[in-house]
Amino acid sequence: MSLFDLIPPAPSYPAPPSFPWTVEQLNVLDAITEWYAHVDEGCFFSVTGPAGTGKTTLVREIVTRFPSALLTAMTGKAALRLQQLAERPASTLHAKLYYPPKGGEDLRFTRLRESESNLVITDEASMCTPAVFRDMQVWASSGVSFLLVGDAFQLPPVITGQELKEFGEDYSVFAHVDGGELKTVMRNAGGVLRAATRVRETGEICRQSDIDDVATKNGYEFMQVRHPTETAVEEYLADRDDHLLVTWRNAVRMTANKMIRERLGHGGPLPDEGEPVLIKKNGQGRLNGEIVICAGFEAAEPIDTMQTMWMKVLGGEKILVSFEGGGGNGREGEFFDGGQPWVENWKNYHIILRKKCLPEPLPVTWGYALTAHAAQGSQARRTTVFLCGGDDRSKHFRKPTTLPSGERTSFASRWLYTSMTRSTMRTTMIVGG
């Protein structure tokens, strides 16, 4: 099913508990109402805050106050979650902002629709890239207002090389939009949120378990083991239902995926029917980070030196994919790792695409174990986060980053926090040592 189709019913997550409004939340609600009453003074307003401060509860109230608002999120999974919690239809922002690409036309989301509403609410807005924000500004110039909701402490979005040169690796839409901020994590937040809050405040891995329920193991569990990848895979295979497996380095992710496939009886070089596949680039009506279920492959001709195949996905669609990975021409990488395959003649490559009216092939990889960026925007009952020995001490993992507020913190704290807060009930942190 394409992201441009209707979103199916969301999985069953526990409804957010009912709390009395805090003064902080009421102040933000009043600020939103005041902003929208004088929206000619600014078409964008943000609501930011860490996990557990009541952003989703606030969105439910905003939707009640502004029933004509268009409800969107930056990923399909986030839209599913938002749809259930707000109790009204939600969609990806891309599905509302862009027309789906036609066969043979250029490779990215470029053709803007007309807005269905004068107010668009966008959740998980920390994932908004400079290109998408520019297109939102086009809508804003025609009278559309945007309420951007998200967590400014999460990882910054994945951006292009050109955007990296222009904006730097810490780009955040929240650095360009004023608004209200929620700071207070609810007192009765569970072990996952308590541990995530400690990570956010200290910048260090929380090395003390905080279990809410001994019988179900819900809450936060810390484990230090000799073989973290093997332990994480065992945890995942013993409890696969609505369970995210997240790690830092792509090479470790690939190792975990191979272990899982082997233990599930999948031995071929390409996915078998029913296996999850991760899309690694926008195009063909799909989003970078989207997970689809493979339903088989059909042969396709090479495009210049790039080997391609048509991958059938659950629901009947076909996607033209590149599967060799980023290890071509002596570069680092390996087969089916989601990297960009080597192309000998890019000019000829694009000529072939145009002549044959083909979409640009999408690089794909295994969808069992993910990186934190790929998991961002998702939410699951359980998340297992694992780091191999030394990863948590790496200078690259601990490098400084800049938050939208200008405050400095470590990449490690943002990575850990983003990974841990994918869970609604249970997070297991596994560290090598």
Q: What is the pLDDT of residues 63-106, one digit of tens each?
A: 999 999 999 999 888 888 888 888 889 999 988 988 766 554 44
Give the confidence band of 110 by pLDDT, cuts at 50, 70, 90: low
Lowest-confidence pick of 37-51, 101-115, 149-163: 101-115
Q: Which of 200-209, 252-261, 329-338 has the lowest mean pLDDT?
A: 329-338
Concatenating the DSSP letter of every residue in 267-326 gives -SSSPPTT-EEEE-S-BTTB-TT-EEEEEEEEE---BTTB-EEEEEETTS-EEEEE-S-S
Q: What topology is assigned to 23-167 in CATH?
A: Rossmann fold (3.40.50)
| CA distance linking residue 276 with residue 287, whole number of Å | 15
- In this prediction, what percent of the chain has a pLDDT beyond 90? 70
| Predicted pLDDT at 6 | 34
Torsion angles phi and psi, residue 381, rounded to 5: -60, -40
141: which 2 tokens? 């110039």
User: Greatest CA separation found in the chain?
Assistant: 62
Per-residue pLDDT of 401-426, as tens digits, reads: 999 999 999 999 999 999 999 999 99
- Partners of residue 246 on adjacent β-strands: 370, 385
Is residue 181 over pLDDT 80?
A: yes
Amino acid at 308: T
Confidence of residue 8 (pLDDT cuts 50, 70, 90): very low
Structure tokens at 368: 């069992």
Please state which architecture CATH assigns to domain 191-266+368-432.
3-Layer(aba) Sandwich (3.40)
Could you tell me the residue ranges of all domains in the chain? 23-167, 191-266+368-432, 275-364
State whether residue 137 is helix, strand or coil: helix
Per the confidence metrics, is the pTM higher than 0.75? yes
User: What tens digit of pLDDT does each residue of 311-324 get?
Assistant: 999 988 899 999 99
The mean predicted confidence, pLDDT, of the chain is 89
Domains 23-167 and 191-266+368-432 belong to one CATH topology: yes
Token code pair at residue 365? 């990889």
> Do residues 63 and 69 touch, judged by C-beta distance below 8 A?
yes
Distance CA(121)–CA(73), nearest Å, equals 8
The whole-angstrom separation of Cα 189 and Cα 53 is 9
Integer Cα distance of 205 and 429 in angstroms: 9
